[in-house]
Amino acid sequence: MQVSSATATFAMTFSASMSVVEYYLLKRFPIPYALYFTAVATFSALVGQYVVRKVVSIFGRASIIIFILAFTIFVSAISLGGVGIADMIEKIKHKEYMGFENICTYDA
């Protein structure tokens, strides 16, 4: 279990790091925001680890971590879907371009 967890953590860290490097090279990387979010994420991770460790010790079951992860993924999926639908409705109201082309016409 620890090997797969370490591998997944490495893959996520590597992927995120490459995205950071890419944005930095494209000059689209606001350093003050990045430092702020790094500090908030680090603090939140430490607090989260402490809270989860306490919850696991209270209940005596490590499976609570799976439920926390499932709940987090569920909430994020619903939130992202809601934001996407809200953006789409606004674009439809204002008759904005949404990236779709007429498939019946072809300009060669």
What's the pLDDT tens digit per position in 28-41?
Answer: 878 888 899 999 99
Residue 100: per-residue pLDDT: 74
Residues 66-89: what's their mean pLDDT? 92
| Full DSSP string of the chain | -HHHHHHHHHHHHHHHHHHHHHHHHTT---HHHHHHHHHHHHHHHHHHHHHHHHHHHHH--TTHHHHHHHHHHHHHHHHHHHHHHHHHHHHHHTT---S---TT----
The pLDDT of residue 79 is: 95
98 vs 58, higher pLDDT: 58
Between the CA of residue 64 and those of 3, 7, 9, 60, what are the distances in Å?
20, 21, 19, 9
Better-scored residue on pLDDT, 57 or 98: 57
Question: What is the pLDDT at residue 1?
Answer: 57
Prediction pTM value: 0.57
